[in-house]
Structures are given as C-alpha cells and as structure tokens.
Amino acid sequence: MNISGSTRLVCLLGSPVAHSISPAMHNASFQYHDLDYAYLAFDVGEEKLASVVEALKEMNVRGFNLTMPDKNKMCTLCDRLSPAAEISGSVNTVLNENGVLTGYTTDGIGYMKACEDAGFHIIGKKMTLFGAGGAATAILVQAALDGVREISLFTRDPKREHTLKIVSSLRERTNCTIRLFSYEDEEILRRELADSQILTNGTNLGMAPYEEGCILPDASFLHKDLIVSDIIYNPRKTRLLQMAEETGCPHFNGLYMLLYQGAEAFKIWTGKEMPVELIKKKFFL
C-alpha cells in the first residue's frame, strides 16, 4: 500500500477501537481496486467527537465510520441523514462531500445481507429481537423497511421515549407489526418465540470477557425451526449460539454483519463494490 501526497483519508472513530478489523479490510479493498485511499482508526470518545469531526471536515477526509459510543451523537453533527439513520437516530457511516456531511446507518443492511449470505430468507417472517442500542435499533429499522412481517422487541425499558419514537415512526412508514416487551417477562418471551422464525440478539450479553451472559434463561425457549443469530463475534460462538447448536437450531454470529456493513460503507465512499469473497478469505475464515 502506497501513501502519496494526494491519498484520501477514511477513518474509524470510537472508543475503544484497537480491536477493530475495519482498517485491515478497508485497506485491502482499497488496494484491490488500486484506490489512493487509506483507512485509520482513532480512539475518540463522545466528549471529543464534535471537535474531531470539525477537524476531519477541514482536512477534507472522504468519510468515516463510527462505533460506540459515538453513533447517536453523530446524528446531531450531520447535515443530512439517510431515511434509516433519521428513524433510528444512529449513524455509523459518514460521507463528506465538500464539507457537507451525510450520515448513514449500514448496520441493519449488514445484518440483512448476513442473513441472506447464511441462506436465510426472513422477509415476510416474524422476528424476535433483543436490545435497543445502536446496532439493535439499526436492525429493527432495516428489517421493518425491508419487509419483515412482525417484530417482537424485548428491551430493558419498553417505555423508553427514544425506542417508542422509533417504533411509532416505523408503524407509520411500514406494514411491519412491532410489539414492545420487557426482558423480564419470561412467559411472554416463550410465547413470542414459539411462533417466531428468527431470534436476534442485538445486545452485548455474551460478549468477551463476559461470555457467560445470555439473553435466554435456558435452551427450553428455543425450537428447532427457529433461526438464532447473535451480533456478537467475540467469542464466535456465544452461550446463546451454543444453546442453539445443542437444540439443533440453524444459527450464525455477527462476523458477516460486520463484513457487509463495511461493504456498504465502502460503496458509499468509493462507488465500488468491496471484494467480499477476498475479504472473507483473508480476515473472516
């Protein structure tokens, strides 16, 4: 990879970012297309985000990704928002066009493409989704926009204003039936899972170093026709996915969601397709 005086910068902002494989996969993709771009990661917390974004605009960077804890605040710093970003109140990808910042959320797109990649077709089906953070919200929004028939959303606080606003907006804009429930109501959870086709963990429960965490009390909540997915990819097989395997449920982790959300961001910045199969072989297998 050659750095020149005209190399365009793309970067990742968040905290922590040292573990991210985004720089590796984007730089490999730039090299594949012979593009004069470079991708770097910067540890930037929410309190410094506004000043860093202003500096990036001044340097005319092509764009940047955001990870926790910066996704929600970035919404307030953009000049324009994609429909999904506007509904979710979360931005993970920004395009800079001569100082005009357009915010996108590609997490939900990444999740839906990961489902397709795994051979699962969930349009017109019922989903049970856990979580109300940035990633879970992005999945909720994209699933509803793409045509998932019904979503049962389980959160810590079903009456949280931010979540209610998103659900209300989706009810107005889509034909998706969305119902809100509390994590704590196990009887309702069992009922909703019984006729769901896919269960999605959009929380960090089960992520290293807290691998014992799980959204379900035990495997009896699962049934063999239920697809089980987890946005976590460290560890690659969470306790939830272990339960799914033991029950005979088809399942997948968050690795390909990461890949495909990155591929969507790459296309936004460059207009080109990320060489997905190459990146899979190099970093994901």
Comma-separated ranges of CATH 3.40.50.10860 domains in the chain: 8-105+258-284
Which amino acid is located at 20 in the chain?
S
The catalytic residue positions are: 71
Give the span between the Cα atoms of 79 and 76, in whole angstroms.
Answer: 8
Residue-wise pLDDT tens digits, 121-130: 999 999 999 9
Q: State both tokens at 121.
A: 């077709």
Q: What percent of the chain has pLDDT over 70?
A: 100
Cβ(282)–Cβ(256) below 8 Å: no
Give domain 108-253's CATH architecture.
Answer: 3-Layer(aba) Sandwich (3.40)
Superfamily of domain 8-105+258-284: Leucine Dehydrogenase, chain A, domain 1 (3.40.50.10860)
Give the span between the Cα atoms of 85 and 66, in whole angstroms.
Answer: 13
What is the arrangement of strands in the sheet containing 198-201, beginning at the earlier edge strand? 177-182, 150-155, 126-130, 198-201, 227-230, 251-252
Comma-separated ranges of CATH 3.40.50.720 domains in the chain: 108-253
The predicted model scores a pTM of: 0.92
Residue-wise pLDDT tens digits, 190-243: 999 999 999 999 998 999 889 999 999 999 999 999 999 999 988 999 999 999
